[in-house]
Amino acid sequence: MRMMRSTNESNITGFILLGFSDYPQLQKVLFVTILILYLLTIFGNTTIILVSHLESKLHTPMYFFLSQLSFLDLCFTSSVIPQLLVNLWDPMKNITYGGCVVQLYVSLALGSTECVLLAVMSYDRYIAICRPLHYTVLMHPRLCMALASLSWLSGVVTTLVQSTLTLQLPLCGHYQVDHFICEVPVLIKLACVDTTFNEAELFVASIIFLIVPIFFILISYGYIAQAVLRIKSASGRKKAFGTCSSHMIVVIIFYGTIIFMYLQPANSRSKEQGKFVSLFYTVVTPMLNPVIYTLRNKEVKWALKKVLGKILGLNFI
């Protein structure tokens, strides 16, 4: 590491992701832990996608969006975790300039897409609970595809703007990234010019992709809560609550960590604290999503047993 830091900066064609180099005794533990979580993420989200596709009873808007979320998490973790594992194992902790650029564009696009997609999923739950008789008419396949496309398009647009503006900043030989991922906030800190415009643009984008979706989700669940309270039977209220609780848990975990990272004043938290918070939403949250939806959803568990039964030639139901 010291040799790399003392290398002539004019010969450097990439970046050094310092990551958790201040905790050398922790890096091997993190490597094993993150590798296990990554494998679980791949298995869990792939299972959700396959079950939603193979089981005809799950061909509904709710599971269409859930499979979109699982695919999104697969792509997001694959854009971050492999490089993170390499850097935890390799003492040099290098990433090429091209690799950093790709990671910056892809991870920001996918993270922004998830912010919008979770809001879309809350709208789906609002229609299902508050207007159940019109659900199949309102949430028709073309609308679902349009909403999913809007989520992906919004992510692409924001990364084209934010990432491009960030990469235009002169670094003046600053190639040591005090993080484990190439993302906008940490790269802005490397710039040797005034970054007021970039910081303002980042703040506006954070409002659009964090506060606005959360506000939309809160409104949706406000109407949902009113509708649930009007249900007379306890079993009906429990069923209605069960269809929304998994989504709410995912929303709280995802937005809670993202807001802490992007909207909290930088001087109010330590760098190491920011790294561990980022580690949570890049590694842990994508692994938790399929677990939460599977364990708290009887339909998914039933469909999983049915699909496994067909594959193994057994009857689990």
For 71-126, what is each residue's pLDDT tens digit? 999 999 999 999 999 988 888 888 998 999 999 999 999 999 999 999 999 999 89
Percent of the chain with pLDDT over 70: 87
What fold does the segment set 16-299 form as a domain? Answer: Rhopdopsin 7-helix transmembrane proteins (1.20.1070)
pLDDT of residue 109: 95
pLDDT of residue 108: 94
Question: Is pLDDT of 204 > 50?
Answer: yes
More confident residue, 47 or 174: 47
pLDDT confidence tier of residue 174, bands split at 50, 70 and 90: confident
Q: Which of 32-46, 114-128, 186-200, 244-258 has the lowest mean pLDDT?
A: 244-258
Each domain of the chain, given as residue ranges in start order, spans 16-299
pLDDT of residue 265: 57
pLDDT of residue 192: 87
More confident residue, 56 or 152: 152
Task: Tally Cβ neighbours within 10 Å of residue 150.
Answer: 14
- Angle among Cα 224, 230, 232 to the nearest 5 degrees reads 130
pLDDT of residue 10: 41
For 241-265, what is each residue's pLDDT tens digit? 776 777 788 888 888 877 776 666 5
Percent of the chain with pLDDT over 90: 35
